[in-house]
A and B are shown apart, each in its own frame.
Chain A
Amino acid sequence: MNDMKLAEKAVRMSEAKISARDVNVFYGDTHAIKDVSVDIADRTVTAFIGPSGCGKSTFLRCLNRMNDTIDIARVEGEIRIDGQDIYDPSIDPVQLRAKVGMVFQKPNPFPKSIYDNVAYGPKIHGLARSKADLDEIVERALRRGALWEEAKDRLHQPGTGLSGGQQQRLCIARAVATEPEVLLMDEPCSALDPIATAQVEELIDDLRKNYSVVIVTHSMQQAARVSQKTAFFHLGNLVEFGETGQIFTNPKDRRTESYITGRIG
């Protein structure tokens, strides 16, 4: 039994979508991420959990080079997506971000119409050959974001007029419109009510069929519900990484256990 699991793991490891090795992040003099190495599998939901300020969001932002926009941030180590080093000088971060989509904590649709929100990414990357093509891309993205039924009659009304949960699904649709391979989510449900949260979680589970999803969450129940793999961060260290079930029922590290049972955090 144990052997089988190991074998399965080895296979999964070899097809890791994202592999990070000895990643260190500094904000000025602050050492925010310390020697983190992790392999993130394709078509899997990986949850990053940990107390506030532990570096889970910082690490997530390394995966699509969003940290580049912060002047004082410095990233060391190696992060490969499909074997390609994303910090290689030949990589254009703009194109990388189309390949690695991101959804943020607070729903942040552009103050434009629903259609324009979704169409923006495909437009700037030249993914649509015609208006009809663009319409199709928008429809497909909205369907993937589980928003099509609600939005199809009001595509040209402002995205900011939607409810919070709908806005977040619009942001997910916007992120998947450029056909990314990896979807990063930074606490996507923290500003949503329980019903909207349930809808987004269901959607995340659905997205797993096509993408490698990485989600940062403060809610351990959410991590347990939606993820197959969980990584526990503490004070900039990756303390433990493994199957979600194992992390929650049988953590190997004492710090993980303390966090899971609510003693730190």
Chain B
Amino acid sequence: MTETTPTRGIDWASPETSSRLKARRRRQNRLKYAGMVSIGIAFLMLGILLVSIISSGYSAFVQTHVEIDVFFDPEAIDVDDLPRSNFNAVLAATMQAQFPEVEGTAELRRLTGILSDGARWTIRDLIVENPDLVGETVAVSVPVADTYDQLYKGFIDRETPEQFRRLDDAQIAYFDRLVEEGRVEATFNWALFFNADSRFPELAGLKGAIIGSFYALATCFVLSFPVGIGAAIYLEEFAPRNRFSDLIEVNINNLAAVPSVVFGLLALAVFLGWFGMPRSSPFVGGMTLALMTLPTIIIATRAALKAVPPSIREAALGVGASRHQVVFQHVLPLAMPGILTGTIIGLAQALGETAPLLLIGMNAFITSAPATPFDSSTALPTQIFIWADSPERGFVSRTSAAIMVLLGFLVMMNAVAIYLRNRFQRTW
């Protein structure tokens, strides 16, 4: 009935065919090896990055402390007038008692320099906690100054000629005597997490930066999550498809690609300039980051809404659900894992963002953690920026340590994203 087309004889065993087959296999293998090589390079780079950060940063997680027997001299300390109390004299007397042979104010000051500048605040805090200590002698562990910390960790080479060394022979001798007496020990550096920033590396910590980043991210989330989801739902489910909605879509996609420093300039002009909001505050930082995160959340939410199978919408419409019931009772719950994943990835991006925060002044030197989102503060990336800029040797390792802390938070957020995706994922 149907016309038969004559077949062309093809010789599958001919030399041309087999050489073509070989060439094809070669191309396939080339592609495979190129892929393996690029994955290998990526892992190598990641490895180098991690090794360099960890090798330069691990020492910041340990801080050298020295134990000194402090005599809380009633003559130097006035419990009722602590600001005028002379804690430096107390420390000097303590060190004098330790090294009776040292003479002269200048030499004694050099000796007291072994102790961190924060030692006087440590003993002041003890007095505040317990005023009865006045007149007593108590063994107190205080951090040593950064240079001695470096010496104890082996970063200062004793073989270097004295004039090129940061500590002279006498200073090293004092310190070695303390070591011999078993007064020096390196302990975990809790100050890195529980202190705010400081000029002195041995006292500097990330508390202010972590709290600042937390406030900024919380502000960012509170602003961008509902607005982003709302915008995405409207655009995806309710907006008419026309030129205007196409224009909006193109612009949202473009916004996601705008360099972050531009958002910083915008925030500087609008939030700080026009509205006069508090400079350097995590609240303004969070608003700026929200501007950046919004397009990411909108795009991720729209993709998640699109991925919900149309059969579910039809099923809901078919039993007489209204459009908003379809969206809020069926589509949105099914899209939630995708939305949450996109949001967390957007927030992780915001956590690491530096440029916009620099422009609104979150790189200020602030020695106390913010009590509210409206106080001046730094954030983790800007703290890294500040420390990377500081000349003291102790800040080099602290910069890397701060990077590790930031990476730790990022890994945690991504882990949460993966967990949420797996936890709420549904199959049809």
Contacts and interface: CB of A to CB of B under 8 A. Distances in A.
Do A and B belong to a common assembly? Answer: yes
Contacts of A177: 319
Contacts of A98: 319-320
B14 interface: no
A178 B311 contact: no
A178 B314 contact: no
A120 B319 contact: yes
Contacts of A71: 240-241
A171 B315 contact: yes
Given A104-B311, A106-B311, A111-B334, A178 B317 contact: no
Interface string B297-330: 0000000000001011111111111100100011
Nearest to B241: A71
A225 interface: no
Contacts of B316: 110, 120
Interface string A20-54: 00000000000000000000000000000000000
B330 A110 contact: yes
Interface string B28-56: 00000000000000000000000000000
Given A94-B321, A125-B320, A174-B319, A104 B314 contact: yes
Given A94-B322, A160-B427, A160-B428, A69 B312 contact: no
B426 interface: yes
Interface in A124-180: 124-125, 160, 171, 174-175, 177-178
A108 B318 CA distance: 11
Contacts of B241: 71
Contacts, number: 65
Given A160-B427, A160-B428, A101 B315 contact: no
Given A124-B321, A124-B325, A104 B315 contact: yes
Contact of A111 (B240, B314, B319, B426): B426
A174 B330 CA distance: 15
B321 A108 contact: no
A109 B319 contact: no
- Say which size band chain A's interface belongs to: 20 to 34
B322 to A, nearest CB: 5
A97 interface: yes
Given A71-B241, A94-B322, A104-B311, A111 B317 contact: no
Contacts of B312: 108, 110-111
Contacts of A104: 311, 314-315, 318
Contacts of A106: 311
B227 to A, nearest CB: 25
B428 A101 contact: no
Given A71-B240, A124-B325, A160-B428, A108 B320 contact: no
A102 B318 contact: yes
A175 B319 CA distance: 6
Given A106-B311, A111-B426, A124-B325, A66 B318 contact: yes
Given A71-B240, A108-B311, A175 B428 contact: no
A64 interface: yes
A104 B334 CA distance: 20
Given A94-B322, A111-B426, A111-B428, A69 B317 contact: yes
A121 interface: yes
A101 B319 contact: yes
Nearest to B313: A69
Contacts of B320: 94-98, 121, 124-125, 178
Nearest to B325: A124
Interface string B316-349: 1111111001000110001000000000000000
Nearest to A121: B319
A108 B330 contact: no
Contacts of A64: 318
A125 B426 CA distance: 27
A175 B320 CA distance: 10
B314 A108 contact: yes
A244 to B, nearest CB: 26
Nearest to B314: A104
A96 B313 CA distance: 17
Interface string A166-200: 00000100110110000000000000000000000
Contacts of A111: 312, 334, 426, 428
Contacts of A66: 314, 317-318
Given A108-B311, A108-B312, A110-B330, A175 B318 contact: yes
B318 A97 contact: yes
B343 to A, nearest CB: 22
B317 A109 contact: no
B318 A110 contact: no
Nearest to B321: A124
Contacts of B321: 94, 120, 124
Contacts of B318: 64, 66, 97, 101-104, 175
A16 to B, nearest CB: 23
Contacts of B427: 160
Interface in A51-103: 64, 66, 69, 71, 94-98, 101-103
Interface in B392-428: 426-428
Contacts of A103: 318
A121 B321 CA distance: 7
B67 to A, nearest CB: 63
A50 B240 CA distance: 33
Nearest to A68: B317
A221 B205 CA distance: 79
Contacts of A124: 319-321, 325, 329
A136 B312 CA distance: 25
7 contacts: A94-B322, A98-B320, A101-B318, A110-B330, A121-B319, A124-B329, A171-B315
What are the 10 A-B residue pairs with the smallest beta carbon separation, nearest first? A98-B320, A121-B319, A108-B311, A102-B318, A97-B320, A108-B315, A111-B426, A94-B322, A94-B320, A106-B311
Given A71-B241, A120-B316, 14 more contacts: A66-B314, A69-B313, A69-B317, A102-B314, A104-B311, A108-B311, A108-B312, A109-B315, A110-B315, A120-B321, A121-B320, A160-B428, A174-B319, A178-B319
